[in-house]
């Protein structure tokens, strides 16, 4: 009988013998790899923390103790150990397991997390809360109290929020364990001085001595007063590796490690000792991203979050061939190539990303322009400020970032870019609904955020030609901040070219109606324009609908809006963005300011509720932004307007 199906809770895990744990680890790897091959998902990050997850649940009782994840894309083993094996076949869909920690699924998930840097700070908050309620572990007064553990990666810990959390964690007067999962990787290679610091620790010739020294010290311990001596000896060994003192000690945190993150007996031993330390500490664990399969270890960036794939030959065969399913040409690929072309034509164009070179398409740019393109690591706020500095020196900066991560840099977009009138350019990938990553990653509020900034030019692309045209417009736009948004989707190949973007001007996509007045007009912002076009074409025998690519959410095409409403033509705005503060809201506001009839405006977009993980197509259908939903809305608007016209006559 296999072991994994018997693990309904971590209590079942703790009934296993130490000799059974490596068998369980392999079963977990096989289950995760087998499912991700079918559905896609985060593979390499989860394969790297299998032993660490087992050891944490073997030592701690997280039905009572607190386990907080940073980012959360390494949570699959944790979920399988907490009774969610039956949800694995529906991974990243509404019927199955979310790809990130999700409190709606289990009491073992404390926060729904998908952004880096937050784990330590939320853990500090819970640690302080447990002290106030007198539930916190204390070896003298409350030995049965709650313990706190947070798991963070070496790339995430450079995030500004993580630094703030560390700074505050050092002031705690209680047990508080930060497990640093050091795999030498973010999604791709980590960037910055701290990444080099960890490299120095890992590559030091005394790395083996560190593990030996720490293990020998811990092995001597029956417990009690000897723990502090063990920690001191282990920490001194780490100091020897880096030569200039332990970095985390500056925050007031004791540090042990690095330890082998795939040595289950060693991990369990050190966690048992660390469990009862009554002050904040860091346990530095070295893991291999993609551990267990040669193809994922060798190319952990590619297999960080792959599409479905097929392995020819056995999973563990060294000569196996892996074919990742092709899903067509993505906006991300189109953007990367367009930016390369832009940088070849204009030596003033520079670019950066925040730890997402593959996810934003900058992996095509960085090798070509190493002196004009940068990956700054998981530091969105710094990235935008750096781009503002480059703009101040006369360069034309393009910041490629997921829409959901732009939120972390809004203050910089406001203060250092827009307020200064600097032409920083934002390229917002994963705008709108993102599919399997779910609510933690939807890009639903970038328009709401950015359109409050004076002088901003906010655009959206509908296909590859329009993306190229939008980037060219942004290259020459010098009056303030500009942005272009595009989804996590493939480009639609309907139009071979695109007229240049003209500030605040929409583009008619449907055939002209000559001098006839349409029954309704669609103003679509972004890729929903194509869906609206298909819906309008399906209704053309009954009604005449003009479909426009709005192009700009700011400034709007005011003459077009005025003409349509003055002619009593109903307007339907459509956007893959939140209705609150979005493109449709901007059209309503503009109509009201011009004294026009706002009752003629109907808005379609993302409702005021969370949209959870599923395929992007199912999410769009759920909110009425698929062809059927838009066609239904168009029929309702036209019929209602026709009835009103009859009554008026």
DSSP 625: -
Residues 511 and 450 in one domain: no
Predicted TM-score (pTM) above 0.75 = yes
**What does the pLDDT look like over 480-523, one tens digit per residue?**
999 999 999 999 999 999 999 999 999 999 988 777 899 999 99
Residues 191 and 62 in one domain: yes
The answer as to whether 259 is a domain residue is yes
Q: How confident is the model at residue 413 (pLDDT cuts 50, 70, 90)?
A: very high
Residues 478 and 511 in one domain: no
Residues 271 and 349 in one domain: no
Residues 66 and 138 in one domain: yes
Residues 427 and 532 in one domain: no
Q: What is the CATH number of the domain that holds 576?
A: 3.40.50.920
**What does the pLDDT look like over 83-105, one tens digit per residue?**
999 999 999 999 999 999 999 99
- The edge-to-edge listing of strands for the beta sheet with 425-429 is 373-375, 349-353, 396-402, 425-429, 482-485, 457-460, 552-554
Residues 481 and 513 in one domain: no
What's the confidence (pLDDT) of residue 288?
A: 93
Residues 433 and 471 in one domain: yes
What's the confidence (pLDDT) of residue 306?
A: 87
Contact in structure between 235 and 249 (CB atoms under 8 Å)? yes
**What does the pLDDT look like over 433-488, one tens digit per residue?**
999 999 999 999 999 999 999 999 999 999 999 999 999 999 999 999 999 999 99
Average the pLDDT over 354-375 and give the result.
96
Residues 395 and 532 in one domain: no
The answer as to whether 397 is a domain residue is yes
380 is known as an active-site residue: yes
What's the confidence (pLDDT) of residue 222?
A: 41
What's the confidence (pLDDT) of residue 234?
A: 43
Average the pLDDT over 408-422 and give the result.
97
- DSSP codes joined into one string, 305-326: SPPPEEEES-TT-TT-EEEEPP
Tell whether the model's pLDDT for residue 538 goes beyond 60: yes
344 is known as an active-site residue: no
Residues 450 and 520 in one domain: no
The answer as to whether 299 is a domain residue is no
134 is known as an active-site residue: no
The catalytically annotated residue of 289, 302, 372, 507 is: 289
Residues 266 and 373 in one domain: no
Query: Cα separations (Å) of 394 from 221, 295, 353, 383, 424?
Result: 62, 44, 19, 17, 11
What average pLDDT does the structure give for the chain? 89
What's the confidence (pLDDT) of residue 129?
A: 97
Average the pLDDT over 547-576 and give the result.
98
CA distance 83 to 61: 14
Q: Of 286, 319, 350, which residue constitutes the final position of a domain?
A: 286
The answer as to whether 558 is a domain residue is yes
The answer as to whether 370 is a domain residue is yes
Q: Of 286, 315, 345, which residue constitutes the final position of a domain?
A: 286
Residues 133 and 35 in one domain: yes
Q: Of 485, 520, 554, which residue constitutes the final position of a domain?
A: 485
Weakest mean pLDDT among 170-179, 223-232, 272-281: 223-232
Contact in structure between 255 and 205 (CB atoms under 8 Å)? no
The answer as to whether 543 is a domain residue is yes
Tell whether the model's pLDDT for residue 613 goes beyond 80: yes
Q: What is the CATH number of the domain that holds 119?
A: 3.40.50.970
What's the confidence (pLDDT) of residue 23?
A: 97
The catalytically annotated residue of 29, 84, 286, 408 is: 408
Range of the domain at 118: 4-286
Compute CA 507 distance to the chain's CA centroid, rounded to the nearest angstrom: 32
In total, how many domains does the chain have? 3
Contact in structure between 159 and 117 (CB atoms under 8 Å)? yes
The answer as to whether 307 is a domain residue is no
The answer as to whether 320 is a domain residue is no
The catalytically annotated residue of 27, 273, 380, 627 is: 380
């Amino acid at each position: 009988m296999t072991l994994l199906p018997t693990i309904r809770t971590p209590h079942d895990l703790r009934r296993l013998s130490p000799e059974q744990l490596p068998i369980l680890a392999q079963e977990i790897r096989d289950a995760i790899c087998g499912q991700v091959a079918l559905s896609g998902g985060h593979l390499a990050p989860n394969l790297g923390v299998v032993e660490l997850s087992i050891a944490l649940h073997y030592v701690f009782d997280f039905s009572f103790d607190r386990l907080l994840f940073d980012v959360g894309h390494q949570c699959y083993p944790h979920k399988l150990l907490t009774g969610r094996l039956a949800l694995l076949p529906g991974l990243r869909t509404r019927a199955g397991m979310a790809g990130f920690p999700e409190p709606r699924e289990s009491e073992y998930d404390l926060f729904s997390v998908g952004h880096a840097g937050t784990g330590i700070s939320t853990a500090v908050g819970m640690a302080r809360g447990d002290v106030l309620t007198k539930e916190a572990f204390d070896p003298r007064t409350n030995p049965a109290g709650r313990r706190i553990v947070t798991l963070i990666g070496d790339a995430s810990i450079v995030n500004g929020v993580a630094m703030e959390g560390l700074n505050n964690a050092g002031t705690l007067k209680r047990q508080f364990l930060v497990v640093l999962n050091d795999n030498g990787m973010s999604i791709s290679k980590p960037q910055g001085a701290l990444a080099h610091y960890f490299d120095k620790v890992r590559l030091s010739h005394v790395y083996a001595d560190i593990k030996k020294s720490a293990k020998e010290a811990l092995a001597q311990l029956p417990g009690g007063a000897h723990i502090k001596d063990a920690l001191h000896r282990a920490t001194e060994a780490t100091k020897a590796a880096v030569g200039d003192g332990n970095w985390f000690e500056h925050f007031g945190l004791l540090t042990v490690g690095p330890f082998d993150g795939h040595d289950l007996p060693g991990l369990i031993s050190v966690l048992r000792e660390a469990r009862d330390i009554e002050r904040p500490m860091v346990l530095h664990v070295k893991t291999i991203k993609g551990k267990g399969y040669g193809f994922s270890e060798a190319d952990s960036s590619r297999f960080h979050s792959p599409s479905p794939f097929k392995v020819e030959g056995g999973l563990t065969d060294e000569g196996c061939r892996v074919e990742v399913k092709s899903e067509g040409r993505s906006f991300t690929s189109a953007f990367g190539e367009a930016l390369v072309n832009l940088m070849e034509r204009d030596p003033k164009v520079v670019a950066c990303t925040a730890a997402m070179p593959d996810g934003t398409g900058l992996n095509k740019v960085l090798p070509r322009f190493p002196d004009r393109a940068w990956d700054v690591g998981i530091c969105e706020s710094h990235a935008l400020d750096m781009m503002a500095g480059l703009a101040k020196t006369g360069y034309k900066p393009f910041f490629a970032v997921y829409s959901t991560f732009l939120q972390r840099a809004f203050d910089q977009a406001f203060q250092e870019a827009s307020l200064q009138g600097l032409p920083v350019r934002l390229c917002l990938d994963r705008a709108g609904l993102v599919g399997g990553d779910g609510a933690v990653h939807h890009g639903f509020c970038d328009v709401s955020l950015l359109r409050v900034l004076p002088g901003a030019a906010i655009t959206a692309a509908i296909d590859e030609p329009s993306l190229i045209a939008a980037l060219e417009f942004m290259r020459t736009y010098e009056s303030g901040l500009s942005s272009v948004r595009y989804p996590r989707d493939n480009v639609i190949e309907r139009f071979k070219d695109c007229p240049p973007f003209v500030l605040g001007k929409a583009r008619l996509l449907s055939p002209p109606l000559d001098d006839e007045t349409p029954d309704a007009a669609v103003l679509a912002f972004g890729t929903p324009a194509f869906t609206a076009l298909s819906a309008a074409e399906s209704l053309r025998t009954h009604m005449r609908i003009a479909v426009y690519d709005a192009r700009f959410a700011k400034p709007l095409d005011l003459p077009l809006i005025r003409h349509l409403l003055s002619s009593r033509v109903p307007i339907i705005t459509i956007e893959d963005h939140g209705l609150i503060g979005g493109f449709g809201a901007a059209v309503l506001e503009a109509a009201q300011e011009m004294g026009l009839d706002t009752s003629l405006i109907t808005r379609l977009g993302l409702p005021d509720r969370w949209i959870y993980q599923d395929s992007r197509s199912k999410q769009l259908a759920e909110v009425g932004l698929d062809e059927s939903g838009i066609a239904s809305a168009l029929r309702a608007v036209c019929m209602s307007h026709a009835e009103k016209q009859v009554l008026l006559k």
